[in-house]
Structure 1
Amino acid sequence: MGNQSLDPSLDYAKKLDEQDELSSFREEFYVKDDTIYFIGNSLGLLSKRSEIALSKIMESWKEYGIDGWTEGEHPWFYMSEKLGEMSAPLVGGKPEEVIATGSTTVNLHQLVSTFYHPKGKKTKILADELTFPSDIFALQSQLKLKGYNPEEHLIRVKSRNGRVVEEDDIIEAMTDEVALIMLPSVMYRSGQVLDMKRLTEEAHKRGIIIGFDLCHSIGAMPHALNDWGADFAFWCNYKYVNAGPGSVAGIFVNEKHIGTTPGLAGWFSSDKNKQFDMDHQLTPAQSAGAFQIGTPHMLSLAPLMGSLEIFQEAGIEKLRKKSLQLTQYMMDLIRHELADHGFEIGNPLEDHRRGGHVYLEHPEAARICKALKMNKVMPDFRNPNGIRLTPAALYNTFEEVWQAVQTLKRIMDDEEYKQFENKRGVVA
């Protein structure tokens, strides 16, 4: 679907929707008829199945009380493992390599605590300068806990243009001083997809442990973490996976590391058959379950079950195909309709390097986002000049893409955005 062959008509958008084999999944979600929700890369919409799954957990609490841990359709004691098994196809892991647990940053702390073992001159952690601040905060904390100065021991690979980080530059930074590498699968701002397979191979050639933050890729694109040999990964489930605000997150630990004592041990790190022996000597679970810490948050886990059922039916390969079509169509329309309005497309254009959103840059980005929101198009502003637009494959349509671009064109033509202040809100 290239720009040269673009048909910019509404009829063409409707035709694309008629050809969409995933169109029925839109009915699974609570979509407001008067709103175009293009912010699913920050918080996905509620599905009816997630709502039902949550109500079932409430019912089991009502029915069984404490016996809900072992009784009912989905005993709580095994729920994290069950959801890990259901999540495994989304990350390309084996069931025993994946667990639903914790939150993104807690899980990162767990994994770095487990796999960062500075020794001799091999003391540094390698990251990048464009990654999400939370990850940097955690890495800085872990270095301080080990007695190292983050200014010296946290390497942040520079971007050549402020949008993407080249794999060649990352590999060049893999010196014999690096003990651990932590990188995003997809850059949260520009949507760049890193070549995780290549980076893992290069890290392992140098004897370096490598892991990935999948927050902006899980649910939007396939992964093959086990095949690639990645050592670990972690992610949230409230963006493309649609499991709800602050929902329980996930961890992948490669099978070769199963049996490793967790850096941060806790009650649910235990082998389930021994957990209630009340022994003060931990026997870690022989699975990714060992990297749990505390008791699972059942009311935050439940919506994930409903959401993952939808992913099982839709299939991540088909979702990725539609996602790429949606973002390509959006970029083509933006070039066609907004060529004279000062927008730059800041995300990679190639399919294999582009995640699930379109990233636009404009000097008036903050006020343009406010104008879009006033017109019932929900965008995502990223300081200082970024607009992220995310047509989610499970519930957004090609017609919505067409309508959103027309709305954006009108906002620019009529200078509607000028009524707003060009700065972000408290939450952007």
Structure 2
Amino acid sequence: MSASDLDLQDEQKSFDGKFVLPTNKSIGAEKIAPDAIDEPCVYFCGNSLGAMPKRAAELVKEELDIWGSRAVEGHFSHPKQREWKDIATLAATELAPLIGASEDEIACMASLTSNLHLMMNTFYQPTPTRFKILCEYKAFPSDQYAFNSQASLHGFDPKDTVLEVQPRPGEYTIRTEDILDIIKKEGQSIAIVLFSGVQYYTGQYFQMEAITKFAQEQGCVCGWDLAHAIGNVPLSLHDWGVDFAVWCSYKYLNSGPGTLGGLFLHQKWDKLTPKFAGWWGHDPDTRFDMPPTFSPAPGAKRFAQSNPSVLATTCLLGSLEVFKEAGGIQKLRGKSIRLTSYLEKLFRSSKFFVEAPSLEQQQTKPCFTIITPSNPEERGAQLSVLFAPSGVMQKIDNGLKLRGIIGDERRPDVIRLTPIPLYNTFQDCQKAAIALDESFEELV
């Protein structure tokens, strides 16, 4: 079946009109046909920064108008019933179905790494015998910095404290059995298990439920960085018993560059008192009475410190409206699997594709492989494409941009290409595959 036929059968294709995408002209796509220069490019970089929802722009304009007309009264009296004092709670309510949690288990606040530190300050309570932090090899750098600084803060050498699970020789992703094996062997010395839900570099979707359960059986706390998982794959944090999780919202949640983060705290931890209390973590029923003694808000919201940016939260609400209209994360996941599988099929049919074990032997002939798991249950929307020999990736990336394809390069040799079900199509996948082959043809 052709890409155009697949798009015709797609019930959710209409949602690509709800986002603003860069045009071929705006990204300098010089090798695009003249009659397509003003059309949207193929934006396969939503794993790094999501496209702008038109609804987010509309809501921000509304808030700016209300700021001008109501000023401080917008906190308590809002013509659209989005009182600013409650806007983070409104966002948490809308987020709950995406992560499988109750509204009280969610706090929309701050940024990913600051929330990670808050949760680690709460849950990382090392002892001389149980002090290690277990994570994946090559976790996102900000996570690595957080792990190392938390270890140092408690007087431990990060080299002895941060335990990384690596892929087996010749492989690119981590086997679940290897993670569980290390937890079993090292469990009595591990204080906290903290992986990415979806690994940012390879796109691997970890078996969160199994890892969480096994870690907790060994007496470890288990938390998750959901930066690349939230809005990408279905999650059931409450039912899985996850202790805590943190995320940003500017990737698959499309809330805009550098906007609001969030955290999840399982209701079993409702009695925890924050070490670093702030005004917005106080009980909302008495917050504006300005009492001198901190009385924690229900659930995860007790960890909030300052009032959130209304404009940033509004951007998130605009995107979450589109998620709801599209039928929720389960329905979007179905389309995501179809899109990514189609893109993988097209890439594998290229004469420049090689299976992963053969790639390292290619020292002269330009070629590529895919290091993201082929099993749809073990990945999200992303395909991480590895190029050889060294130096080829930058040339291919430039060739793709000239043909209207925006991916995300990760030096030295990887481009991440991510068909997003909310705004990408099967024809986008076909254009990317053609552009990839044409870019390779220029090298040989």
Work out whether the TM-score is over 0.5: yes
1:325 to 335, 338, 363: 338
Which aligned pairs between 1:43-62 and structure 2 lie closer than 5 A?
Answer: 43-62=49-68
1:237 aligns with 2:241: no
1:295 aligns with 2:320: no
1:101 aligns with 2:109: yes
TM superposition shift of 1:84: 0.7
- Provide, for residues 16-58 of structure 1, a one-character-per-residue CA deviation record: whole Å limited to 9, x for no partner: 0001011110111113324111101001111111111111221
**What is the percentage of aligned positions where both structures have the same residue?**
36
Once superposed, what is the RMSD of the aligned Cα atoms? 1.5
Q: Distance in 1 between matches of 2:75 and 2:126?
A: 40
**Amino acid across the alignment from 1:30:** V
Which aligned pairs between 1:63-102 and structure 2 lie closer than 5 A?
Answer: 63-72=69-78, 73-102=81-110
TM superposition shift of 1:250: 1.3
Contact 1:29 / 1:48 at 8 angstroms: preserved in 2? yes
The number of residue pairs the alignment matches comes to 406
Q: What is the SS of the residue equivalent to 1:337?
A: coil
**More deviation, 161-170/187-196:** 161-170
Contact 1:111 / 1:263 at 8 angstroms: preserved in 2? no
TM superposition shift of 1:259: 2.8
Q: What is the SS of the residue equivalent to 2:82?
A: coil
Following TM superposition, the consecutive aligned residue runs of length 4 or more in structure 1 with deviations greater than 6 angstroms are none
| Alignment-derived partner of residue 381 in structure 2 | 356
Q: TM-score, normalised by structure 1?
A: 0.92
Contact 1:130 / 1:159 at 8 angstroms: preserved in 2? no
- Provide, for residues 387-425 of structure 1, a one-character-per-residue CA deviation record: whole Å limited to 9, x for no partner: 111111000110111011111111111229xxxxxxxxx
Which aligned pairs between 1:17-416 and structure 2 lie closer than 5 A?
Answer: 17-31=7-21, 32=23, 33-72=39-78, 73-160=81-168, 161=170, 163-174=172-183, 175-314=187-326, 315-339=328-352, 342-363=367-388, 364-415=392-443
Contact 1:272 / 1:285 at 8 angstroms: preserved in 2? yes
| Alignment-derived partner of residue 4 in structure 1 | none
**Amino acid across the alignment from 1:231:** D
**Amino acid across the alignment from 2:335:** K
Q: Distance in 2 between matches of 1:333 and 1:256?
A: 46
- Provide, for residues 180-238 of structure 1, a one-character-per-residue CA deviation record: whole Å limited to 9, x for no partner: 11110011111111000000110111121101111111111110111100001111111
Contact 1:163 / 1:189 at 8 angstroms: preserved in 2? no
**Amino acid across the alignment from 1:88:** A
Q: What is the SS of the residue equivalent to 1:362?
A: strand
- Provide, for residues 139-169 of structure 1, a one-character-per-residue CA deviation record: whole Å limited to 9, x for no partner: 1111222222211111112222462122222
**Amino acid across the alignment from 1:172:** D
Q: What is the SS of the residue equivalent to 2:223?
A: strand
TM superposition shift of 1:339: 3.8
| Alignment-derived partner of residue 33 in structure 2 | none
Contact 1:259 / 1:286 at 8 angstroms: preserved in 2? no
Contact 1:369 / 1:387 at 8 angstroms: preserved in 2? yes
Q: Distance in 2 between matches of 1:338 and 1:329?
A: 17
Contact 1:259 / 1:284 at 8 angstroms: preserved in 2? no
Q: Distance in 1 between matches of 2:213 and 2:242?
A: 9
- Provide, for residues 357-404 of structure 1, a one-character-per-residue CA deviation record: whole Å limited to 9, x for no partner: 111110211221122112221011112211111111000110111011
In the alignment, structure 2 segments of 5+ residues that lack a partner are 24-38, 354-365
